[in-house]
Chains A and B, each alone.
Chain A
Amino acid sequence: MRIAVVGAGPAGVYSAQELVDAGLSVDVFDKVPAPYGLVRYGVAPDHPKTKRIALALGRTLGNPAVRFFGNVAYGLDLDLRDLLACYHAVVFAVGADDDRLLDVAGEHLWGVGSAAQLVSWYNAHPHADDSFAHTVLAAREVAVVGAGNVALDVARMLVGGPHRLAASDVPERVLDLLARSRVTDVRVIARRGPAQAKFTVPELTELGKLDDVDVVVDPADLAGADDEADSRRARANVELLRGWAERPTGRAARRVHLSFRLRPVAVVGETAVAGLRLDRLGVPSTVPAQAVVRAIGYRGAPLPGVPFDEETGTVRNLGGRVVDATGTVLPRLYVAGWIKRGPSGVIGTNKADAAETVRALLADADGFPAPLKVGPATVPALLRGRGVRFVTWPGWLRLDAYEVALGRSGGRPRVSVDDLATMLAVTRAGDL
């Protein structure tokens, strides 16, 4: 049996591994030439250890029972009819590419953008646009709205200094711009209290270890937080925050302010951002900011031909089986990862999640249509016929080696290539 997996992020690759373990053949498609999804394009570049998850994922994609097709977008290069004709079943693991809006006045102002835009920029995503990064790094004060690790990643990247990235894979262009950062104050603005923050303990701890950066916490924000902290993580976070709150304000060149129980009401400014108006239980305040970054969560985008739940921003599903609005199962269609359960959990969470999906698929397999009318050569031929320059696994390995070589010349482990034309040339996409 042959299965298509759309998305080569953690959820797609873990699904592929489960399918291969069950003896099936798998084709994994991704819209970008490089695999690994947010491991490559989300995880902060100053977390090289976490990036190493890519090595484990690569073992699956290099398995002979798996074929990789990079630079192939579902909905653009292939549609549902193609996939259902060529595969017994399809697992969508496309992640959550959209972001949630603040839904406040002034959100359209120049200088308001999403964490995703910055994350794609510093991680060298080939579709990234640098303009928001330029705006943010030209600001002195930046407000980051959110209370999760992505908000902390952004804060750390903005004030941590480029020297922390000396051994990372970020392109020179990114290092240069970070070196010219004018940011002195980042205000991380959380809607709920410190005990409800979704920061993980290691990420919060790391914030306190940046050179020449003070973490500023208002002691008043911590009132009652101990009683509300009902998990080990919440207790540890509150303890860390208290440590900062009780410390006299330092003299560092840059600061990260962590503030809580604030609801953004409006972005203020004439044409460009001047500040963020906030509300705390009816008490208004305004913080100065020349850039506002939304880090309040990612959101799935609808897939053509697949039922979507606008409320949750996920594909409608029951335990990984795609269902329509009435709850009826749509045969042969499955989902895994963020598009299935929403943007929560860590990378490893997607493993158990993919396992659940593949269990459902295998349980249904008896009902899949018997032999497909087409063989394994059909999809590559179809793509070639459509002029799609797809990237194969050996192609990706060439780019991988190229990035390592690029790094070596600059004394770094690797340097990411983000120019689509170069990526396609190095991978020799399209010539087979």
Chain B
Amino acid sequence: MTFVVTSRCVGTKETSCMSVCPVDCIHDIGEQVVIDPVECVDCGACVDVCPVDAIVHEGEADDPSVVADAYRRFGLEAP
């Protein structure tokens, strides 16, 4: 289980989430940031600081393709 960054981050990107991630697993890929699902320890710190509520728990994502994409970006299959 992990947290995923939704497209709401695009254009808003201002990295508050990166500055609180305890394991530095949020990466800036240009148009938005992404979370490495292997490194993420599920602490939720990033969720609380995101000004646009862009980060959701994978179990709460409205659109399952967001989760699939988040895993695929790191060469993984969504569980």
Which residue numbers of A lie inside 8 Å of B, CB to CB?
10, 49-50, 52-53, 55-56, 200-202, 232-233, 345-352, 355
Contacts and interface: CB of A to CB of B under 8 A. Distances in A.
Interface stretch (B5-13, B19-27, B28-36, B66-74): B19-27
B77 interface: no
A263 to B, nearest CB: 28
Contacts, number: 50
B45 interface: yes
B20 A352 contact: yes
Contact of B22 (A202, A233, A347): A347
B53 interface: yes
B38 to A, nearest CB: 11
Contacts of A202: 42, 44, 57
Given A201-B57, A232-B53, A233-B48, A10 B22 contact: yes
Contacts of B22: 10, 53, 56, 346-348, 350-351
B4 interface: no
A52 B43 CA distance: 11
Contacts of B42: 49-50, 202
Contacts of B57: 201-202
Chain A interface, DSSP helix/strand/loop, else mixed? helix
B17 to A, nearest CB: 9
A346 B49 CA distance: 11
Given A10-B22, A52-B23, A348 B53 contact: no
B41 interface: yes
A52 B22 CA distance: 10
Contact of B44 (A53, A56, A346, A351): A346
A101 B38 CA distance: 40
A349 B20 contact: yes
Given A202-B57, A232-B53, A351-B21, 13 more contacts: A50-B42, A55-B23, A56-B22, A56-B23, A56-B24, A346-B43, A347-B43, A347-B45, A348-B20, A348-B21, A348-B43, A351-B22, A352-B20
Contacts of A52: 23, 41
A350 B23 CA distance: 12
A347 B22 CA distance: 6
- 4 nearest A-B residue pairs (beta carbon): A348-B45, A348-B20, A348-B22, A56-B23
Contacts of B45: 345-349
B39 to A, nearest CB: 8
Contacts of B53: 232
Nearest to A233: B48
Contacts of A347: 22, 43, 45
A345 B23 CA distance: 16
A232 B48 CA distance: 9
A53 B43 CA distance: 10
Interface centre among B42, B43, B44 (most CB of A within 10 A): B43
B21 A50 contact: no
A336 to B, nearest CB: 14
Contacts of A349: 20, 45
A53 B53 CA distance: 24
A245 B19 CA distance: 38
Nearest to B45: A348
A53 to B, nearest CB: 5
A351 B46 CA distance: 12
A10 B43 CA distance: 14
A348 B48 CA distance: 11
Interface centre among B22, B42, B48 (most CB of A within 10 A): B22
A16 B20 CA distance: 16
Nearest to B25: A56
Nearest to B23: A56
A156 B41 CA distance: 20
A346 B20 CA distance: 9
Nearest to B53: A232
Contacts of A345: 45
A50 B41 contact: yes
B20 A351 contact: yes
14 contacts: A50-B41, A52-B41, A53-B23, A53-B41, A55-B23, A56-B23, A200-B44, A202-B57, A346-B20, A346-B48, A348-B45, A349-B45, A350-B22, A351-B22
A236 to B, nearest CB: 8
